[in-house]
Amino acid sequence: MVSDVSFSAEAIRERLGLGEGCMPCLEELAALELSGPAVLPAPEEAAPSLARLRVPAGQAAEAMTAMPSPERTPELWWVMERCSALLIREMGKYGPLRPWPDLPRELGAPARYCYVWAFLATLPAVRRWHAQRGIPDDVSWATLADLGRHMAIHERMYGEGGLSTQNWMTLHFRAAIYDLGRLQFNRSRVRQDAATIEAAGGRFQQGDPSLGVHIPESGPLTPEACDASFLRARDFFATYFPDERPSIALCNSWLLDDQLATYLPPTSNIVQFQRRFHMLPGGHPADESVIHFVFRMKPASLDDLPQRTTLERAVVSHLRAGKHWQSRAGWVAL
């Protein structure tokens, strides 16, 4: 399916009912010089791709019926087309992008799946890029299949299909992140200043190549699985990105909040994961992040949160005591 739909950024904002804060992103998308109209896969091609990306079957079927159309959903087609074009322009790069706007749920399934189709339109380009670099096929597909994982999480949280982590997925579909077993690693550069690095005992500098460490929802965070991922990451990036040569990996997560160690046993996977890292000073408020990642729900109050595990009980009792969780950062040598 091909077409060419033109709107101004302000027209898109008004038609989709978006806030003024979306304008920088929409203006950037409007300014893109498209090399040609977007091309979406035919249904007989899209269905196998959705399955390969591990999109839940029910959502795959719903997404197929909600495929954007320049005739039926011109505003959403405009967003899809330009988001895909931006990813293709930025393919192989890993700097931050302007956040893509959350599309109103009132617009129904076409809006909920709009970014899924943007990623499907980009799929051939990122697969070509991986192949040109020699990225193994299993790593390529495992990385891109994080899309299906996040769509499944979305359905658990909201009771309907769709995707609400579109900005996270832009890393995958421009070849900036890779799934290497239990952990994911994204290409990056050190952002911390010299004083922060020195305080953490680091021998690296701001701007040095680095890897970001991420913990997908994919099973127990055992020391053995993490050891295997770090070893795999060293070999993977030395082989396929020899020009970058990162010597450290950095993790920024609520999982590194040392307050967790007051609730969890020393043998817990989380505490052992924390011990891998040299902690950087400071932190950021993370109460909402902890609730999001531990419970995958938006509770009306703490009373709505289940208390099935030691971690769940720790999160709630900490907050009930008037304390707060933090996101902390740490580094480890590769």
Q: Which of 149, 175, 201 is the last residue of a domain?
A: 175
Same structural domain, 66 and 153: yes
When the pLDDT of each residue in the chain is averaged and rounded to a whole number, the result is 96
Specify the pLDDT at position 140. 98
Confidence (pTM)? 0.95
Same structural domain, 106 and 17: yes
Phi/psi for 179 (5° steps) reads: -90, 115
Same structural domain, 28 and 71: yes
Specify the pLDDT at position 35. 85
Same structural domain, 130 and 244: no
Same structural domain, 182 and 297: yes
One DSSP character per residue, 227-289 reads HHHHHHHHHHHHHH-TTT---EEEEEEGGG-GGGGGTS-TTSHHHHHHTTSEEPS--EE-HHH
Specify the pLDDT at position 4. 53
Same structural domain, 97 and 169: yes
Give the chain's domain count: 2
Q: Which of 114, 141, 175 is the last residue of a domain?
A: 175
Same structural domain, 54 and 42: yes
Same structural domain, 190 and 329: yes
End-to-end alpha carbon distance in the chain: 46
Structural domain boundaries, residue 286: 177-334
Q: Which of 150, 175, 200 is the last residue of a domain?
A: 175
Point out the residues of the chain with pLDDT beneath 50: 1-3
The CATH code of the domain that includes 310 is 3.40.630.120
- 251 strand-pairing partners: 330
Specify the pLDDT at position 1. 43
Question: Which residue, among 72, 54, 52, 101, has the nearest Cα to 3 in the 3D structure?
Answer: 72
